[in-house]
Structure 1
Amino acid sequence: MTEQNDMLDILLNSEEKLTEKQKRILEAALEIFAEKGFSATSTSEIAKKAGVAEGTIFRHYKTKKDLLLSIVAPTMAKLIAPFIIRDINKVLNTKYERYEDFLKAMILNRQAFLKENMAAFRILIQEIPFHPEMKEQFKEHVASKVYERFTHLVEFYKDKGQIIDLPTEAVIRFTASSVFGFLLIRHLFLPEADWDDEKEIEMTIRMVMNGIRVEE
């Protein structure tokens, strides 16, 4: 089953009842939005791929943005939020002896997630800067819950004397920008490059630790 179909199944399991044509519109929109982005996608393309008249889309969704927000954005929340919270909690709940051990586990965890959910992630990254509604939804379902857990974890390693006396928020920002910067370039911007994942992960961890590690 394709990733788009996984996302479709999740939406279809919600309380909203969709017609067969709406299901095809949803599936086509997910696929084309992920491939081309919201702005570069026309409703005529979605209609053609869905096998419906363009007017059928506008009978259900007033505008193209309404299609994004009414279908794609809720699908993002239903699909991504539970997996992110569940999977990252596996890492956050495990007391690794060293902060660098935690970082490696988190990178490997997020890398596995991206490989399974790249289309959904691509839509989120492409569209969230341009749609405040999606940004608020992401903050509500993902960011706030993960950030709170991450704060406790950083404090844990600071108490163990492994992280220098920087504001916890600064440590989180530095860690997140380094880790997710690597993952974005590796899997979204330059996936075709000749990557040595093990080496790149070790260098990313070393860079983070060189900035926050307590000198012995």
Structure 2
Amino acid sequence: MSEPVEQWVKELLQSYDEEGKMTEKQLRILNAAIEVFAEKGFAASSTSEIAQRAAVAEGTIFRHYKTKKELLLSIVAPMMSKLIAPFVLRDFSKVLDAKYARYEDFMRAVLINRAEFARNHLPVIKIMLQEIPFHPELKEQFVERVGKKVLERIVPVIRKFQDEGQIVPIPPESVLRLSASAILGFLLMRFVMLPEREWDDAKEIDTTLDFILYGLSASGRPPVA
């Protein structure tokens, strides 16, 4: 079984171990499940492959987890509460707490920050993207523990730029939705769907930022240098 290479994996397994809730075999099962779910997705993963990577009998998995979905939830739920929510917010706070003169500067900082986060924590990003849409309980946890907290922090920033006349006076939630859609689209293509492509990250960030600010209209945008 390969060693976990992501710090969040190590922290997750250590948190279980510190609480004394997990046996050594369970920790190996969780580690293997994280790797397999991230690589193949929940639906395409099998408990037999997880057992093989964990170097345990498949029956051992079912002694600890009644179903494959219970195994998934045992991974994602703690990741959300112990690691993802606080880490995302702590890391993102660096951007939200800074002062920016222009919405363009703020969005550029967001793009760079989230691209770096995705690059450094790709397995968890994959699991979230793959599984949240298909598991209502995971979606609810994500909204409560991550989504609402991010919304509370970012809406005042958007209102500030609206008050300064830099952004159209539409609901801040709509500004966030439209901006986030472009950012998530870039991250999805860059790190999940086409990671093997030769990407010019700086150019793609510029293009994404240009779309957020000006849409697809040829008018109203500054001339290309």
Q: TM-score range by the shorter chain?
A: over 0.9
Q: Choose which of 133, 140, 144 in structure 1 pairs with 2:137.
A: 133
CA RMSD of superposed structures (Å) = 1.8
Among 202, 205, 210, which residue is 1:201 paired with? 205
In the TM superposition, residue 4 of structure 1 has moved relative to its aligned partner by 5.0
- CA separation in 2, counterparts of 1:113 and 1:130? 24
Deviation at 1:123, TM superposition (A): 0.6
Q: Could you tell me whether the CA contact under 8 Å between 1:8 and 1:23 is conserved in 2? A: no
Displacement of 1:72 in angstroms is 3.4
Q: Which one of the candidate residues 65, 78, 86 is aligned to 1:61?
A: 65
1:13 alignment partner in structure 2: 15
Pair 1:187-2:188 in alignment: no
Change (3 A) 1:72 1:167: closer
Given the alignment of the two structures, is residue 101 of structure 1 paired with residue 105 of structure 2, yes or no? yes
Aligned residue in 2 for 1:49: 53
Comparing 121-130 with 11-20, greater Cα deviation is found at 11-20
Query: Residues 62 and 8 (structure 1 numbering): CA distance in 2 closer, same or farther, change over 3 Å?
Result: farther
Counterparts of 2:58 and 2:7, CA distance in 1: 22
Contact preservation (8 Å) 1:76, 1:124: no
Shift of 1:10: 2.3
Residue of structure 2 aligned with 1:153, choices 145, 150, 157: 157
Moved more, 96-105 or 13-22: 13-22
How far apart are the structure 2 equivalents of 1:191 and 1:82?
A: 27
Distance 1:113 1:33 in 2: 19
Q: Report the CA distance between 1:164 and its aligned residue.
A: 1.4
Q: Could you tell me the TM-score, scaled by structure 2's length? A: 0.89
Checking the alignment, whether the CA contact within 8 Å between 2:179 and 2:212 is kept in structure 1 is yes
What's the % identity of the aligned pairs?
A: 55
Deviation at 1:76, TM superposition (A): 4.0
Deviations, residues 128-167 of structure 1 (Å, cap 9, x unaligned): 1111111111111111000111111100100111111212
Judge conservation of contact 1:99–1:157 (CA < 8 Å) in 2: yes
Per the normalisation by structure 1, the TM-score is 0.92
Larger deviation: 73-82 or 25-34? 73-82
**How much has 1:204 moved relative to structure 2?**
1.2
Cα deviation for residue 2 of structure 1 reads 3.4
State the AA in 1 paired with 2:116: A
* Cα distance in 1, alignment partners of residues 10 and 177 from structure 2: 33
Distance 1:138 1:6 in 2: 17
Q: Is the 8 A contact 2:12 2:79 kept in 1?
A: yes
Report the residue type matching 1:35 in the other structure.
Answer: E
Count the aligned residue pairs. 213
Whole-angstrom distance in 2 between the partners of 1:93 and 1:131: 33
Question: Which 5+ residue runs of structure 1 have no aligned equivalent?
Answer: none
Q: Is the 8 A contact 1:104 1:205 kept in 2?
A: yes
Q: Give 2:84's match in structure 1, choosing from 80, 83, 88.
A: 80
